[in-house]
Structure formats: structure tokens, C-alpha cells
Amino acid sequence: MKYTLITPLILAACISAGTLQAADVPKKLERQTTWGLYVDSQEVAKMKKDLGDKMLFIDVRDPIEIMFTGFSDVVDINIPYKIADTTAWNQKKPVFNMAINKNFEQDLEAALKARGLTKEAPIAIMCRSGGTRGAPATKLLENKGYKNVYVVTDGFEGGKVKKGEKKNWRLKNGWKNAGLPWSYKLNKDKMYMPSSTKITPEMAKKAAFISKLNHANPMPNYMPVAMKNAEALKLNEEQITKLKSWTSANKGKSKAAVMRIIELENEIATASMKGEGKETLMNKFSEMSEMRMKLAASKTACRDNMRTILTTEQWDTLVGLQAATKKKVVEKHASL
């Protein structure tokens, strides 16, 4: 069923093109959005032509994917919803894991500001086929003040043909199949080149702490692996909320224990070189052992808490991911 939509901005700008005829509401719930705004590739092309710089048109595919499948310069900017993580293998398919771009909303907001737009401006999101990334990407924008977020329901390449000689070829609908402008020549100014690929002070600080944590206690750090592979583990929102809540409530104690252990190691070395007596040294060793026990208890509690939140299948998958992470670390050190 088709219906007519007129966004507030279109009315305000008095666009002469008239009303926007929207695409059908996707049948799958996971492809539906809270805004209920859906357009197909031809409709979004007309929308962009009518509104011009008064809207933001985003391609949310991985830039490497775009390099081999093409790009349309009608699009304003490429901000991927997911990016291939070449350090993590997908546990269900023989491919690299696709990690959600943690900077998606931040980058989108920056793109709006760069064009003098606000969160009330129409935003159109296009992925490869229309729903597997386009609609989910909008979830990151829910309840954050955005007013008009559209999903391009047939995407850039369209859907697969189910029968015939070209079965599974993406020849059904989509931007490319509609004869709309596109090319294998990419516009560098529009492609995603995140600053997040650089080592920021925050990233360096976090890496340094993880190194200290591993030194202070060799037990696995399940939480960061679980959060990094949330999609592969199929964690739902409730599970993620519970895991983050536990981390927020306990990370302070663990950090304090780690830092005190490092301090004690330095104090012991200094005391020994200064010729301090055996009793002084043993007292510091005793305190350090106590702090290590507290840290061990905390990490054990974290593990046990995760096992109550995750399903048995999720936990087994996490253990496998943890083992793979540990193997990489061992191999890295062995090569030094």
C-alpha cells in the first residue's frame, strides 16, 4: 500500500515538486523504522533533485564494498553502518566479521553540521539491498532528535533474482538496475576515511590499561571481547544493557586494584634497591597478593555474571572468540 508524505522541511521550503510518493512498508519487522518513512531508489533520486542541499543522502555500505560495486555521486556522503573487521572471523559464515561503526551517529551529525543542516532535515539512508543495513542503521538514531529519516527500500544493487539462469544475481530493483547515475570511479571527498583509524590518546590509554590488567591477572577479559563481537554473539539490547551496567558498577574497583598492583611492584623494586629490611618488603608483597586476590575475585564475578546473562550457545561462542584473541596475542609475542 502506498501513501503520501510531506515532511515539515519540504513544506517550509515550498518545494514545487509536490508530494513524495513513498514505497511500500517493508513486510519484515526488522526492516521497519519508528519514523515509518520509506522510499525506493527512483523516489529518493527525485527527492534529492527536488531538495538538493536541504537534505542529506547517505550510502551506509563499507567503503571497500563500494570500491568493487560502484557508487553514485548523487549521494552526499558515505558513512558505513558496518565495517569489515579483518581481526575477527565470523562464527556463522566463512567471512570476516562486520562490526558496527561506533562513530556512525557522530559522523552523521558532523555531516549535517558541515552542510548547515539540523536534525529536522530529511535524511535518506541507502545500503546494498535496502534492509539489512539501511533500516538497522536508523536504530542508532532513534530517540536522538532526528525527525525525518528515510530508508531506501531497494538499495544500491537491489534484490536477488530467485529463478532462471541469473539466479542470485542482484538484478531486481535497486539504484543500479533503475538506470540511475553511478560509476566505479569514486569521489574521494565523499568516501569514508575515518580519523578513528588513527591511534587516539583515548585508544592508547585504553590499550595501556588492558596491558596492565593482563599483567596483574592472567584470567581472560571476557567483557571487551563480548562487546566488540556483540553482533556475532547475537546479543540483544537487554543483554547489552545488563553487561554495560555491570561494567559501569565495577570497573572503578578493578582499575584501582590494577593500578595499586603496579604501584606496589615499583615500590618493592625501589625498596629493595634502597636496602629496606625484609619485613618492609614482605609487607608490600603481602599487600600486593591481597590486591591480586581482589582482582581475581572481581574478574571471576564478571565471568559468572556474564554466564547468567548469555545463553549457553552465546557463552560457548564467546569462549571460542576469547581463545582466538589469546592465540593472536601469543603468536604476536612469539614473533618478536
Domain 201-334, second-level architecture: Up-down Bundle (1.20)
- Give the model confidence (pLDDT) of 85-128 as tens digits: 888 888 888 888 888 998 899 999 999 999 999 999 999 999 98
- CATH 3.30.1360.120 correct for 4-197: no
Q: Assess contact for 229 and 319: CB atoms under 8 A.
A: no
Q: Which is nearest to 153 in space by CA: 180, 126, 178? A: 126
Give the C-alpha distances (Å, rounded to integers) separating 291 from 212, 249, 252, 255, 286.
Answer: 14, 19, 14, 11, 9
Q: Residue ranges of the domains in the chain?
A: 4-197, 201-334
- Give the model confidence (pLDDT) of 251-264 as tens digits: 888 888 889 998 99
Within this chain, domains 4-197 and 201-334 share the same CATH topology: no
| Residue-by-residue pLDDT tens, the chain, 336 positions | 333 344 444 434 333 333 444 677 776 777 788 888 899 999 999 999 999 999 999 999 999 999 999 999 999 999 999 998 888 888 888 888 888 998 899 999 999 999 999 999 999 999 988 777 888 898 889 888 999 999 998 899 876 767 877 776 676 778 998 999 999 999 999 999 875 445 556 666 767 777 787 788 888 888 888 888 888 889 999 999 999 999 899 888 888 888 999 899 999 999 999 999 999 999 999 999 999 999 999 999 999 999 999 999 999 999 988 887 665 444 443 443
